Amino acid sequence: MTKLEELVKKQREFFSSGKTLDVDFRISALKKLKKAINRNEDKIYRALKDDLNKPKFEAFVGEIGFVLKEIDFVIKHLKEWAKPVKVPTDIVNFPATSRIYHQPYGVSLIFSPWNYPFHLAMMPLIGTIAGGNTAILKPSEYAQSTSSIVKSLTAETFEEEYIVVVEGDKTVSEKLLDLKFDKIFFTGNSEVGKIVMKKAAEHLTPVTLELGGKSPVIVLGDANIKMAAKRIVWGKFFNAGQTCVAPDYVCIEESVYENFKNAILKETEKYYKLKKIERHYSKIVNIKHYKRLLGLIEKSTVILGGHYDESKLFIYPTVVEAKTNSAIMEDEIFGPILPLLKFKDYESMRDYIKSKPKPLALYIFTKSDNQKERVLNEIQSGGVTINDTLIHLSSNYLPFGGIGESGMGIYHGKYSFDEFTQKRAVMERKTYVEFPLRYPPYTPIKLSTVKKLF
């Protein structure tokens, strides 16, 4: 038996002991996790600095603070969520009561990516703990410093038969996928997501796929141009564009294109005026992605930026003008390059966006309530933020997830609890009376009565 097989066996035995079914046990585990995060906060900052040069502000807002807020929210509401839910009972089943129980899946496997290596490891882990499961967590090897701190943090907090981190490269991930789990949660790109789903199908294991894609921005003629530019630039260059819901490209109505372009350039130039910009700006994760992004810049019409520093893996904020057939419009950018596309009107924007795979996020800038509803009705996506970017995923009350090629399944807040539990139908019949209606012989009168009941 391999080490990985042994871990899964231990976790299955621990889950079978029933300890995780106790909601107080789950809450205690979440409190321990919170204490461990607070205790290791400075180490987490240093790890994120090392892996991605994350400014402390971005590291807190996008990673540590986000996770701590989620833990507090789940602890506050978990007992309420875990209660059986009483639902009505059909008259055909009288006398009876009906309830929905939230049943843990069992042993879960979590794959987390490198772009938010702490946040995207902890968030699904919170959900699996809340749901009453055990977990094996496989972080990305591309963010090694954060992966190491996640491993040590969990090891000092939990026994490995409950929560354990397994590090390694692609071969380790492949070996894990060969094993049988009860739930798999994957965050990453769609190509690897397809492999995960295919392997999960061999064991009929339910999966949650948090993927990505080219999330568009729509800027209509009545938008607050100055505010739109400010918020789009912030969302695009946060974490140097290495965000699954980053504004990938901007569709601008022709009537306001020049005004908007000038506003975008003005906002982007502010980065270059920062004293020691490196203190406020993340780096590209590795040389492979760095060179991929440089290739996109070389094929684009740059109107601002395009500067880079290989020694620091820095690609500075860059704005390009693009057409729908430009090379940069083929795949998700996942970096600090913002393409601007001019369209005659909303209809042409809509048709172009709908010709592409359904995105993980959609951003709409308009003052018109009618236009907001029209876009929401006509263009499918995962989440939506209107007149801002990124922030829809920060709410504990909203589900986060994709549609189509951008993913399946939702989480955050109660939706994480729901994602890591199965809805178990339970009907209890009363014994104080019995009706002979359902038993043979099946007479015409019985059939007539049943028809009326149905």
- Predicted local distance difference test score (pLDDT) of residue 195: 96
212: Cβ contacts below 8 Å, ≥ 6 apart: 189, 190, 244, 245, 332, 334, 360, 402, 406, 407
* Separation between Cα atoms, residue 453 and residue 90, nearest integer Å: 9
Q: Where are the domains of the chain?
A: 3-211+409-426, 216-394
Of the candidates 58, 63, 70, 210, the residue annotated as catalytic is 210
Sign of CA dihedral 402, 317, 148, 391: negative
SS3 260: helix
What is 3-211+409-426's CATH number? 3.40.605.10
- Predicted local distance difference test score (pLDDT) of residue 453: 85
* Separation between Cα atoms, residue 369 and residue 206, nearest integer Å: 39
Task: Look up residue 246 and give its amino acid.
Answer: A
Please answer whether residues 365 and 345 qualify as being in contact, where contact means their C-beta atoms are separated by less than 8 angstroms: no
Active site residue 159: no
* Separation between Cα atoms, residue 160 and residue 407, nearest integer Å: 29
- Predicted local distance difference test score (pLDDT) of residue 1: 84
Of the candidates 58, 63, 70, 244, the residue annotated as catalytic is 244
pLDDT (tens, 9 = 90+) of the chain, 454 residues, equals 899 999 999 999 999 999 999 999 999 999 999 999 999 999 999 999 999 999 999 999 999 999 999 999 999 999 999 999 999 999 888 899 999 999 999 999 999 999 999 999 999 999 999 999 999 999 999 999 999 999 999 999 999 999 999 999 999 999 999 999 999 999 999 999 999 999 999 999 999 999 999 999 999 999 999 999 999 999 999 999 999 999 999 999 999 999 999 999 999 999 999 989 989 999 999 999 999 999 999 999 999 999 999 999 999 999 999 999 999 999 999 999 999 999 999 999 999 999 999 999 999 999 999 999 999 999 999 999 999 999 999 999 999 999 999 999 999 999 999 999 999 999 999 999 988 888 999 999 999 998 988 8
Side-by-side strand order, sheet with 85-87: 85-87, 96-104, 421-429
pTM: 0.95
- Predicted local distance difference test score (pLDDT) of residue 54: 97
Q: Which two tokens stand for residue 145?
A: 């410093």
- Predicted local distance difference test score (pLDDT) of residue 55: 96
Active site residue 267: no
Domain 216-394 of CATH type 3.40.309.10: yes
